[in-house]
Structure 1
Amino acid sequence: MKPSRRHVLAKAIQLSLLVALPGVAAAQDAAPAKDPTTLDSVQVTGTRIKKAEIESQVPVQTLSRDDIERTGLTSLGDIVQELTGAGSALNTKFNSSGNFGFSPNGDGIGAGSAQVDLRHLGPKRVLVLVDGMRWVNESSASGVGAATDLNTIPLAIVERIEVLEDGASSLYGSDAIAGVVNIITRRNFDGGQISLNYGQYGKGDGELQGVDLAWGYNTDRANLFLGLSYVDQDPVFSRDRKVARVPVPGLGVETGSSATPNGRFIFTDPRCPAVDSDDDPSTPPVNMCNITTPNGSSFPNGVRFPQDFIPFGGANRYNFAAENMLLTPSKRTGAFGQFRYHFSDNVQGYVKALYNRRESVNQAAPEPIFLGLDAGTGNPWSERITISRLNPYNPFGIDLTSQGANPNLITLARRPVEGGPRIFEQQVDTQYVAGGLEGSFDAGDRTFFWDVNAAYSRNKADQTNRGSYNIRNINIALGDPAVCAATPGCVPLNLFGGPGTITPQMLSWISPVIRDRSEQKLKTFTANFSGDLFNLWAGPLSFAAGYEYRKYEGSYSPDPITVAGYYNGTQSLPTRGTYDVNEAYVELNLPLIKEGSFGKSLDLSLAGRYSDYSTFGGQFTPKYGLRWQVADEFLLRTTYAEGFRAPSIGELYGSASRADLQLSDPCLTSITGAPPTGNRANCAALGVPAGAAQANSQISVQTGGNADLEPETARSFTAGFVYSPAWAADSAWSDKFDFEVTYYRHSLEGAVQAIDAQTQLNLCVQTLDPLYCNGITRSSVGGISSFENKLTNLGSIKTSGWDVDFFWTLPETSIGQFKLAWQNTWVTQYDAVGAAGQRQPRRPGVEVNDSAIPEWSSNATLSWKRNAWTGSWTVRHISELTETCQASALESPYCDNSVTGANKLSPTTYHDIQLGYHFELLKGLQVTGGVNNLFDKDPPVCLSCSLNGYDASTYDIPGGRFFYVRADLRF
């Protein structure tokens, strides 16, 4: 269909709104002074029909305010990432900027953000709503993201979280492929509350401080809620945890970087020793130096060749891991207000507004400088360079050049520790304002509900980068001194001495302050109408219908130095895009059977949505569901839904973004000396000379947008039951017992994703197919100089599994009352296949690319209450995982080379405890203390994970016993 020029999109998203499940409302939230007669009829996440009987039609998991506070966590993202159905997603345990971009997807690095992934389908396939309205996508100053940053929503304003674990595009439109997270804000609140939070890790770091203020006022016709929130999280440094102190756990610095404070110099020269680079006797040896200055030495007066140099070996490499962070610092300040006014018993209006600021920091080791044929940066200023023999610090007396007919400079690698670590500071400002009208009216004996809503939201991020370098200025400062002298500000640069030989004047010339910006805006308008149309043989035919309009705007503005290609890394260009959507939907609930010999009731639900996008045209998505109430205590339910996800602005229009990934080049000797694994003839055809070695295991991979992308399409199926046996109710051993089982299956076609980089590299070497090799270029000495990993509509992703949940409330006794909630997810299938049939490495029980798909995840919480005392014990379990050992990690004691060449990540169980007491002070003072990871369980070692020796998206940080205390005073 030809895209429309103008789109006035619509939908009616009043999605989640308030499902009054037992125990959902926080105890301190008071009812409004006047309860309108019809406006608060039940509407649940997963349907837009306000009807109490269908609240269990789809699998919805609800986290109440009590559940949230029981976690001891202060980040909304951290809480939802602990759900058993959640997958790997960014959080503050990822020290992202400057090191890696997590699964490269062309929309930047969400540094400092916290995202949510459901069913391991990726954060961009989860729709996040606040009070049923879409939330704006993240903005982290490195691209135009496709996911939502939950750190833009203060946890203090949340009343409950509803998680729909089912595809829901027919109800809510694009992005709801894997499910929906609907965040319900606190509304009906009377009086004031101040909450103080303090926490710290057992090793004395990672201090957390927080203050929340809440105040509410109710009259017969109005209610007002105001909230303020402040959270200050201090960092935890990698050097303070054993597993994170070295690049590959179990090994020393031999797996570190060849860019060292003393420098590594690889060049050809007749004065260098002859090296036989291959096994071909007809090939003459090459006179090649591979040298460095002695570790620990400093040469402020210059160095001499060859007296002051030694051969470069594994012991000379640089341990970059110690400079990283395990937990990144984050300050979040938020203000929220909501006012509702009842014009009559049947009409009310509301306005709400939010402002949130996140200030976060990432830190990486001092930035390395790579120059020469094998620089591998993809930047011409570093790969085409001449270091003049006239440079006053050049000890070799010759031009070192990677240009011309006879280049001799293979690699110069120097890490200027004089410039300090790389610091990336983000400031993210989020603004949100919304208003609307809600009402009901009677027509005959039926009641109809309506609402209209409008919202505007904006995320704006600024990132300041200190400690990076201007590669153009480095090029000039190493070249002809006469050119440098004629260039204002230029000072000849010394990369040849040891630490301390780069002076402040040199740093001033090569060290810019880099400032990047990004912004996203979302404008929405929705209108919804629902009620009962007429009576059928088994009951009323209920319906909901509506319209939605959305407009997306996004931009990324990198620093002019980056745009010009002067940044010591990948050139990045600005990104800007906009599109809008018009949508209309209808939902029907058709009763088929009323109470009789076939059970209590059988209902058929039908839903359909038509979406018209300015970028690609129209899309229709249907959904079908059956709900069979066999008996009061037994419910069967099933759904089938089709869905889609439209490519985001970043995916469509994004400029190249860089991710530094841990890759093993099959054509090169590994950094630990392991021989190449690739076909020798194929490697030679790719231009790799025999004997070539991989200088570093981190390879820069570029991913960019693709304007030809099509929408992803999906099919989702769920089937299950809810059993609440009467024999387990009001008995001597049980007040209530609920048992829920859900089978899920998602099938995604045309997934917008880049092929796994290691898979692409392996297939290129195996097949020489241009499909895989185009975009991978090598230098004349065999190393990868650029790696383009473009976004495409990948073949398919298929995943399935089971959710099995138990809820048991025990009778109250003299020692109090206990409740047990035990939730489990088993992933039985996960298959991702590229468009040409390439099998991607992710599957159940496997760790790959800093993410895991555990076959079994389980959370069990035993809560207790006796008079003024409360307590809980939570057990979180993650089943065993396996990862393939890369060449750089084969010598690690964690890698079982003799059998499989794999590392087993053992099953991991965490224990969290909490104890609280309620004092009768003013309206009540609740003091609560707890310990997360009580037994100080370390995560299993991950050899392929990018930075800190473990998977930060799946496990708690090493040395992670966390103590906290919270005081809540009502007045």
Structure 2
Amino acid sequence: MNRLGLLGTSALRSSAVFGLALVVAAPAVAQDTTTDEVEVVETAEQGEGEIVVTGSRIRRDEYSTIEPITVVTAEEITQAGFNSATDALQSNAVTAGSGQINNYYGGFVTDGGTGANTLGLRNLGPARTLILLNGRRLSPAGTRGSVLAADLNVLPTAIVERIEVLKAGASSVYGSDAVAGVVNIITDQKVRGLSIEAQVNVPEVGAGVDRRVAATFGFGTTRLNIIGSLEYRKRDGFSINDASFTGCPIPGYLDGEGSEFGSADPYPIGDPRNCFTIDNGGATINTLGVPTRDAIGRTSGVVGRFNRLVPDASVTTGPTPGYAGVGLYDRDSYDPAMGEEYVVTPTEIYTGFFSGTYDLDALGNAELYGEVLATRRKSSAYLYRQLSLDYLRGSPLLPTEFRNGAFLAPNETSSGQIVAARAFIGFGLTDSRQNVDYVRAGGGIRGDFALPGWRYDAYIGKSWTDATYEVESFLIDRIANSLLVTQNTDGTFSCTNAATFANCVAAPELNADTIGGRLPQAYRDYILANTVGTNKFRETTFAVGIDGPIFALPGGDAQLAIGAEYRQQRIDDTPDENAINGNLLGLTSSLPTRGTDSVREVFGEVFLPILSNRPFFENLNLNASARYTDYESYGSDVTYKIAGEWEVVRGFGLRASYGTSYRAPALAEQFLGATSGFLGAGTDPCDSDNFPSDPSDYSANDQLVAQNCAAVGLDVTTFVQNNSIKTFTRGGAEFGLEAETSTNWSVGAVARPTLGSAGSLSLALDYFDIKVENGVSSLGAGTILNRCYGDTAFDPDAGFCRFVVRDANNELEVNSDYVNLSTDIVKGFEFNARYAVDVFDGRFTLNANVTKYTEQSSRLFPEEYLTDANGTYVTPDWVGSFDATFRTGKVTFRYGLDWIDSSSGTYDYFAYDEQTGQVDEDLAQAYRDSYILEVPDYFLHSASVQFNVAEDFELTAGVRNLFDKQPPRISAAVNTIGNAPLYSGYDYIGRSFFVNTAFKF
């Protein structure tokens, strides 16, 4: 991947050196592959010999742009071993280290649902990056109500000519969402004949094979042009058992700063009992929860006080025969089935793309054009489930010794009765499946306008998403009724409410088999149901525009583009009725998400070539754009942008831009139906585990929280929260949610020194500064709880506490909504270089792209101090991408390197108090003494060789992650996979081999 013009040798075989978003641009002509001039490539957005480059609506006769644009060509995608445009777009070379939602997130709740792949530039999230296909936006797609951004899975790959990535705000040109940048996928409009392409990527471990086969075709006459592609891709799942680094996840705690990783874990380093503890990867299973009682300890062998027991037939004496007492780490927490959960989820995708043009020879040499993209994605994920069966006080299903206890207060499965004992059961794997159908169809007419050199373009488009999402779920009402039983005369049990629940199956008796997960199949089938939700998303677009020269300037003709656009979106997400009714045990519940929004816009852009071919003014150009927007949801706004380029002398120039952008609230952010979630019981600020054992060691904040907890009758020295905390998130339309606003400015320099026979060199350095204000954000439940109980003016019914409900049993419920609060700032430098030289009867080319972030900060509330995450373990401050190619004859060799800088300041980041703007040094040191949360430099190498065996046959083979680099290892105090950070920038698969073949008929 390289900058605009620093291209590889695919459809853009005449490499353009100075398109690093160049300030220097000569008229473009097609050249052979040994030159460094720009080739004119006709796209669906241009006329004969004229180009519209991403980030502008002005047609130019040269392949240049004022702002830096990254270009990924089809050949580069193949040579790098990516099996799809999606994989290429989510690589570090494009994202510059920004974390992305990809197929590593199968076990997490993400926007767009499991299997969705999105792209967010500058670490500002996918909802702030606009995705285009041939200059027209892709509507959001996915499952569940929180569909916010385009799903990259819908993109074709085989017919892609190049991808242009503008990392700058462009709302004045394209409208909402173009805050962090714009990605434009451009298809090849010159396809002729039939081509067959196939690729397979095979990880060295043998699992997770990724295969794709595609056919592209094109035919036409002097007036008709038809092109298209059909693709099928299937990627097998890659499980925990398949990855070497996930084989034994441990807590990874330290016994003081600098001590060995895992030195403070429950067992000695290397002891397999540290694997899959409840701190990392495991869950309490094969265990019975009872009121605290005497029992012989499983590990100690002596009598102690325990509230967790495990069946143990070897215990024949003592206070609790048949059971041993266990603590936090000697209870069972690993089931081999856990290893079958996916690290990379499986996917099957069918894609069809068709495009056509027809010259009318009328209406100003008009051309009719149309395009259809259709995809079907099938994805799935396993989820290991722990089942908790709450046996009621006095239940005949309980052994006599546990029948009259009081382990828990009444809860959702106890029918309002006291729970005497809870069985923590390893149920096994449950399945979830997603099916997403996406169609985008559009077309229009374009031709010469009334004035010389002017063109018009009128377009209408429609997008459809129809998705289903299925999840195997435990039903609360069935479990509750199964535990209300009557004992029959023959000793069996029947459901007390069998008349109401005709198919009710009584819960099994509490014994070693039940606790061990050996449940009757009829009972498993009864409590587990396949729940199905549907999502429909619609977008309609009407657009019209004209452009052409307006007057002559010393540097050429001034150009003007003006137009208008109307868009309407509608979402209709209907969860399964059990999710709507809150009948899913341990999973989120949600209400329907339904709403519409529309926007009317007018826009204009002007390009002014002020001077050229003058002393100290080889070129001086100015570009300005503005857009008026009127949304039905939040009202109107005006955005603008101005950019300029000054080539001081031939080979050296300066450029700068400043603009405003905005992001209208997505339909999901406006209308999201209340969606439930869960926080761990320990998130309760009043839980005793959150405080030092000695009150004299309390910090000032500990003392304040303890005081506020006491105000609601809780003693933080003894209180233990035994229940998960329910959370509910809702859309913010009823609270007057408004659009985000942002400013984006950059300044840079481009140099192309003359080297003569020593080759050609191009250098570019740019500084960028993006600030998003009035940001749309959901108040995190954890934030609400901490702000509620950390308030010096604590009132359980006011302030943040108004979002918190603590019932008589001390069960917590937290409600949060989307609101306009947050601020995000990203600043940094981008350096790009390209060197090319003819050597050894071939062409050697070296590309380097390096990003240095100087700030990646945010705050949730306006009164807070900014918290800078720059340089932390998943927010690197330095990121680099390098590749070298050597083409000789019909063979091309490529070597690639991605680099992610080591982290620093992570401990200070976690110990930073956004309300005071200070780092709690004692807390930071406590983190250093307890955890490894920083990572070393990370390098990924790749290599390939490409053979153009014949004019109609090409073969590419190579290796990704050449040295089988594993992701770094950190402690399990944050989201991890195994002991690796959850971060898209790392490779979880290991060394993999790929082969791509292409035939043309």
Distance apart, 1:112 and its partner CA: 0.3
Aligned match for 1:493, one of 507, 511, 530: 507
* C-alpha separation in 1, matches of 2:294 and 2:315: 23
* C-alpha separation in 1, matches of 2:41 and 2:862: 59
Matches within 5 A, 1:312-323: 312-319=327-334, 322-323=339-340
* C-alpha separation in 1, matches of 2:933 and 2:882: 28
Residue 179 of structure 2 corresponds to 177
Distance 1:295 1:548, change over 3 A: farther
Give the structure-2-normalised TM-score.
Answer: 0.82
Q: Which amino acid aligns with 1:802?
A: F
SS in 2 for 1:212: strand
SS in 1 for 2:515: coil
Contact 1:687 1:780 in 2 (8 A): no
Residue 21 of structure 2 corresponds to none
SS in 2 for 1:681: helix
Distance apart, 1:668 and its partner CA: 3.3
Residue 282 of structure 1 corresponds to none
* C-alpha separation in 1, matches of 2:933 and 2:625: 47
Residue 689 of structure 1 corresponds to 715
* C-alpha separation in 2, matches of 1:558 and 1:753: 23
Q: Which amino acid aligns with 1:749?
A: E
* C-alpha separation in 1, matches of 2:693 and 2:372: 59
Distance 1:638 1:858, change over 3 A: same
Distance apart, 1:761 and its partner CA: 4.2
1:202-222 per-residue CA deviation (whole Å, 9 max, x = no partner) reads: 111111111111111132222
Structure 2 unmatched runs, 5+: 15-29, 31-39, 253-261, 266-273, 296-303, 487-494, 912-923
1:328-375 per-residue CA deviation (whole Å, 9 max, x = no partner) reads: 10111111111112223932111211211111111111244376xxxx
Distance apart, 1:962 and its partner CA: 1.2
Residue 454 of structure 1 corresponds to 460
Contact 2:341 2:384 in 1 (8 A): yes
Aligned match for 2:887, one of 839, 845, 865: 865
Matches within 5 A, 1:93-172: 93-96=104-107, 100-102=108-110, 108-140=111-143, 142-172=144-174
* C-alpha separation in 1, matches of 2:877 and 2:41: 45
1:227-249 per-residue CA deviation (whole Å, 9 max, x = no partner) reads: 11111101111133343343745
SS in 2 for 1:194: strand
Q: Which amino acid aligns with 2:955?
A: V
Distance apart, 1:110 and its partner CA: 2.6
For the pair 1:831 / 2:844, whether they are aligned, the reply is: no
1:301-353 per-residue CA deviation (whole Å, 9 max, x = no partner) reads: xxx96643524432214247634211110111111111112223932111211
Q: Which amino acid aligns with 2:903?
A: L
Higher mean displacement: 630-639 or 450-459: 630-639
Residue 919 of structure 1 corresponds to 949
Contact 1:655 1:704 in 2 (8 A): yes
Distance apart, 1:706 and its partner CA: 1.2
Higher mean displacement: 758-767 or 554-563: 758-767
Higher mean displacement: 504-513 or 757-766: 757-766
* C-alpha separation in 2, matches of 1:915 and 1:95: 33
Q: Which amino acid aligns with 1:77?
A: T
Aligned match for 2:662, one of 644, 656, 673: 644
SS in 1 for 2:54: coil
Residue 607 of structure 2 corresponds to 589
SS in 2 for 1:513: strand
Matches within 5 A, 1:387-466: 388-391=394-397, 396-398=402-404, 402-403=409-410, 414-418=423-427, 420-441=428-449, 443=451, 446-466=452-472
* C-alpha separation in 2, matches of 1:225 and 1:189: 6
Matches within 5 A, 1:492-531: 492-494=506-508, 496=510, 497-531=514-548
How many positions carry a matched residue from both structures?
892
Distance apart, 1:875 and its partner CA: 0.4
Aligned match for 2:11, one of 26, 37, 40: 26
Residue 632 of structure 1 corresponds to 650
* C-alpha separation in 2, matches of 1:537 and 1:256: 68
Contact 1:127 1:134 in 2 (8 A): yes
Residue 380 of structure 1 corresponds to none
For the pair 1:562 / 2:579, whether they are aligned, the reply is: yes
* C-alpha separation in 1, matches of 2:400 and 2:978: 36
Distance apart, 1:629 and its partner CA: 2.2
Contact 2:6 2:834 in 1 (8 A): no
Residue 471 of structure 1 corresponds to 476
* C-alpha separation in 1, matches of 2:555 and 2:945: 50
For the pair 1:356 / 2:361, whether they are aligned, the reply is: no
Distance apart, 1:658 and its partner CA: 4.3
* C-alpha separation in 2, matches of 1:896 and 1:917: 56
Matches within 5 A, 1:269-348: 290-294=307-311, 307-319=322-334, 322-344=339-361, 346-348=365-367
Residue 742 of structure 1 corresponds to 766
SS in 2 for 1:43: coil
* C-alpha separation in 2, matches of 1:216 and 1:394: 78
Q: Which amino acid aligns with 1:402?
A: A
* C-alpha separation in 2, matches of 1:808 and 1:661: 52
Q: Which amino acid aligns with 1:58?
A: E
Identity %: 26
* C-alpha separation in 2, matches of 1:239 and 1:394: 41
Residue 16 of structure 1 corresponds to none
For the pair 1:90 / 2:101, whether they are aligned, the reply is: yes
Contact 2:141 2:147 in 1 (8 A): yes
For the pair 1:819 / 2:845, whether they are aligned, the reply is: yes
Distance apart, 1:257 and its partner CA: 8.0
Distance apart, 1:294 and its partner CA: 3.3
Give the structure-1-normalised TM-score.
Answer: 0.85
Contact 1:846 1:853 in 2 (8 A): yes
Distance 1:737 1:896, change over 3 A: farther
Distance 1:333 1:624, change over 3 A: same
Residue 68 of structure 1 corresponds to 77
Distance 1:307 1:694, change over 3 A: same
Contact 1:761 1:772 in 2 (8 A): yes
Q: Which amino acid aligns with 1:720?
A: G
SS in 2 for 1:751: strand
For the pair 1:198 / 2:200, whether they are aligned, the reply is: yes
1:125-156 per-residue CA deviation (whole Å, 9 max, x = no partner) reads: 0001111111110222x214111100111222
Matches within 5 A, 1:565-964: 565-568=582-585, 569-659=587-677, 667-668=686-687, 670=689, 678-679=702-703, 680-685=706-711, 688-691=714-717, 701-707=727-733, 708=735, 709-725=737-753, 727-728=754-755, 731-734=756-759, 736-755=760-779, 758-767=782-791, 771-778=799-806, 785-814=812-841, 816-839=842-865, 843-847=869-873, 852-881=874-903, 883-884=906-907, 897=927, 899=929, 903-920=933-950, 923-942=951-970, 943=972, 944-958=974-988, 960-964=990-994
Contact 2:763 2:832 in 1 (8 A): yes
1:628-654 per-residue CA deviation (whole Å, 9 max, x = no partner) reads: 122331221111111111111110110
Q: Which amino acid aligns with 1:120?
A: N
Contact 1:76 1:155 in 2 (8 A): yes
Residue 378 of structure 1 corresponds to none
Q: Which amino acid aligns with 2:53?
A: V
Distance 1:859 1:771, change over 3 A: farther
Contact 2:112 2:141 in 1 (8 A): no
1:793-837 per-residue CA deviation (whole Å, 9 max, x = no partner) reads: 1231111111100011112423x2211110011110122112253
Residue 551 of structure 1 corresponds to 568
* C-alpha separation in 1, matches of 2:102 and 2:330: 34
SS in 2 for 1:316: coil
Distance 1:935 1:586, change over 3 A: same
For the pair 1:533 / 2:547, whether they are aligned, the reply is: no
Distance 1:220 1:697, change over 3 A: farther
Distance apart, 1:557 and its partner CA: 0.7
Distance 1:513 1:221, change over 3 A: same
Aligned match for 2:496, one of 473, 476, 483: 483
Distance 1:86 1:500, change over 3 A: closer
